[in-house]
Chains A and B, each alone.
Chain A
């Protein structure tokens, strides 16, 4: 279990670090400029992570670490207070958080003191720019780690943490899909097929739950249907490089929930169980590549453990100051084992 938890954290860190150099680029330009990206690259000056070292994970990675710390402090009990405290700490931790925060989370942070914030505003133009993004999904993998393979519990915990903050179906579906798939990956002897199915279950079950709870529905494409489309593409008998283009062209990979999370599942399917391959392929997608590679790294690392990751790259990682992934993983394991679920 410890190996799996470490695998998720280090996999997420590697994906985030490698992926930040290709963020906001088009997939075909990445291929033309770099070929297949399998190393830490200098960050271009026009990228959000400009100024960071090649070996540093992007700011989004820290978001999940703060959430992990607060989950440990609450003995694994997921609540809105835990999520808000973690978010606040992340916001105040770095002067460049705003470069990595997704529009949905930024909205949560800015408007969290106003319970009626949505009612007071005119309708938003739509989820592409504003409300339904991958902000919850990039930090929901620790919830899956704590669940010890209980997929339903992972979905419930994601809700308990973030229902009131995010409120909209697409964002919650995205977060629950990733938490559920990581939860499944924590089990022994599961296949890639099981893991992908768990993600679909997370998206489907959370949609039903969200509707029951009267969640807000913003306009936009359906996360679950887009996931099915991406998985269908990923299953095609084509070269993974072709499939990357196909996923990017048909699904897209911007920070929107209905692009980013389906793209991750397409890449997981297309990578046929190759842990580092899935990270490299997510990096090659471009657009929100750091988020996609972070999520692929977390899922695949949880499935196959830290030993499946590239040790040379791991040895060069520059982790955020104040975080020790070895200690954090051990504490997460203790918290998961001692955790009481009512």
Chain B
């Protein structure tokens, strides 16, 4: 498979997961069926009570849009990945009326206020550490794997850098490193699902160790341990539907990093690495569907390439969001060739 196909596939997979999940976010699986009358298998317009209400079918939320801005800024900065580059990208993204204002999560909003030197109204007068470990770190991280094709350790190191400005806690860092490592591994020419899952576990473990050194140690369930269970559930001999339900009930697919990231890996295991099947399952499993599907789509897309998706999806994403996925993929390839070659495996 062409290297371009994998990079473009990862971008398209993450964008597809985000845009499809926009319609079902914050619902239960039963409610999704009740509202849509069928499982959601393509882009749908978010209903009037959705967080994404007002968006059209195919429009992104905060998840992939933030990743898009970060990747674009890294290209503009000739492949340099620093906290400052990420900060500028996120500030730039935060000026976008749709992507940021309507969708951004709590940790990201707090960080953006800090970058802009603005006060952020806290809901408590004590530090609420348990609420820090959110999944915003994972939703935007897949391009970091793309800038480090096959170089898993460098992907992990860069994922820590990208995560620190907004989610400086050991659990969010662990989750981000899991996704970045998996995407990085998936870009190897002969990578298979087993390799990718193993890279994800390695990323979670190493990310947790690094996160404890550079971030705040917060209370919460372990990303790594929940990933192990999610992959076990995903690899069982039950039907994909049964496994998806088990993941929703036992792992969860919510805002906590130790729910969303493990479930994304569990879905990939349950659907043999097929990104469209994993996205459709993630979109219909309920809760934070757009984030889970963004991550599963990004990893699976890097593994299986652009042919894993319907042929018109890329054009729809570009047109509905005013972006250029093909141009971004070329920019990543060019940046890697010119500036990051020495870091390639």
CB distance from A310 to the nearest CB of B (A): 26
Number of A residues near B (Cβ < 8 Å) is 42
**Contact A250/B287 with A123-B26, A217-B28, A219-B26 known, Cβ cut-off 8 Å:** no
Asked if B259 and A255 sit within 8 Å, CB to CB, the answer is no
A278 lies within 8 A of chain B by Cβ: no
**Contact A99/B218 with A125-B255, A129-B255, A288-B130 known, Cβ cut-off 8 Å:** no
What's the Cα separation between A128 and B131 when bound, in Å?
9
Query: Of A50, A126, A229, A252, which is within 8 A of B287 by CB?
Result: A126
What's the Cα separation between A313 and B232 when bound, in Å?
44
Chain B residue with minimal CB distance to A25? B219
Query: Of B31, B129, B254, B259, which is within 8 A of A217 by CB?
Result: B31
- The segment from A149-157, A220-228, A316-324 that touches chain B is A220-228
B96 lies within 8 A of chain A by Cβ: no
Contact with B along A89-104 (1 / 0, CB 8 A): 0000000001100000
Chain A residue numbers with a CB within 8 Å of B50 are: 122-123
Chain B residue with minimal CB distance to A120? B49
Chain A residue numbers with a CB within 8 Å of B225 are: 249-250
Chain A residue numbers with a CB within 8 Å of B51 are: 122-123, 125
Chain B residue numbers with a CB within 8 Å of A222 are: 249-250
Contact with B along A194-226 (1 / 0, CB 8 A): 000000000000000000000001111110011
B239 lies within 8 A of chain A by Cβ: no
A258 lies within 8 A of chain B by Cβ: yes
B326 lies within 8 A of chain A by Cβ: no
Chain B residue numbers with a CB within 8 Å of A28 are: 217
CB distance from B31 to the nearest CB of A (A): 7
A271 lies within 8 A of chain B by Cβ: no
Chain A residue with minimal CB distance to B30? A217
Query: Of B219, B222, B248, which is within 8 A of A253 by CB?
Result: B219
Chain B residue numbers with a CB within 8 Å of A26 are: 217-220
- The segment from B72-80, B120-128, B316-324 that touches chain A is B120-128
Secondary structure type dominating chain A contacts: loop
**Contact A249/B286 with A128-B255, A229-B250 known, Cβ cut-off 8 Å:** no
Chain A residue with minimal CB distance to B171? A26
Asked if B130 and A255 sit within 8 Å, CB to CB, the answer is yes
Asked if A252 and B249 sit within 8 Å, CB to CB, the answer is no
Chain A residue numbers with a CB within 8 Å of B328 are: none
Asked if A24 and B27 sit within 8 Å, CB to CB, the answer is no
CB distance from B197 to the nearest CB of A (A): 19
A-B pair count, CB < 8 Å, reads: 115
Asked if A249 and B221 sit within 8 Å, CB to CB, the answer is yes
B288 lies within 8 A of chain A by Cβ: yes
A251 lies within 8 A of chain B by Cβ: yes
Query: Of B27, B126, B218, which is within 8 A of A47 by CB?
Result: B126
CB distance from B49 to the nearest CB of A (A): 6
What's the Cα separation between A102 and B105 when bound, in Å?
20
Query: Of B31, B127, B250, B255, which is within 8 A of A226 by CB?
Result: B250
B251 lies within 8 A of chain A by Cβ: yes
**Contact A220/B30 with A24-B130, A122-B50, A255-B130 known, Cβ cut-off 8 Å:** no
A55 lies within 8 A of chain B by Cβ: no
Asked if A24 and B129 sit within 8 Å, CB to CB, the answer is yes
**Contact A225/B130 with A99-B124, A123-B49 known, Cβ cut-off 8 Å:** no
Query: Of B30, B126, B252, B286, which is within 8 A of A99 by CB?
Result: B126
CB distance from A258 to the nearest CB of B (A): 7
Chain B residue numbers with a CB within 8 Å of A253 are: 219
A81 lies within 8 A of chain B by Cβ: no
Contact with B along A24-46 (1 / 0, CB 8 A): 11111100000000000000001
A269 lies within 8 A of chain B by Cβ: no
What's the Cα separation between A290 and B290 when bound, in Å?
34
CB interface residues, A 113-150, toward B, < 8 Å: 122-129
What's the Cα separation between A47 and B125 when bound, in Å?
10
Asked if A221 and B217 sit within 8 Å, CB to CB, the answer is no
CB interface residues, B 273-296, toward A, < 8 Å: 286-288
CB distance from A254 to the nearest CB of B (A): 5
What's the Cα separation between A98 and B124 when bound, in Å?
8
28 examples of A-B residue contacts, CB within 8 angstroms: A29-B217, A46-B127, A48-B126, A99-B124, A122-B50, A122-B51, A123-B27, A123-B50, A125-B255, A125-B288, A126-B26, A128-B259, A217-B30, A219-B26, A219-B27, A219-B253, A219-B254, A219-B286, A219-B287, A226-B249, A226-B250, A248-B219, A248-B222, A250-B221, A252-B220, A254-B220, A287-B219, A288-B130
Using a CB–CB cutoff of 8 Å, the interface residues on chain A facing chain B are 24-29, 46-48, 50, 98-99, 122-129, 217-222, 225-226, 229, 248-255, 258-259, 286-288
Closest 4 CB pairs of A and B: A252-B221, A287-B219, A249-B222, A219-B287
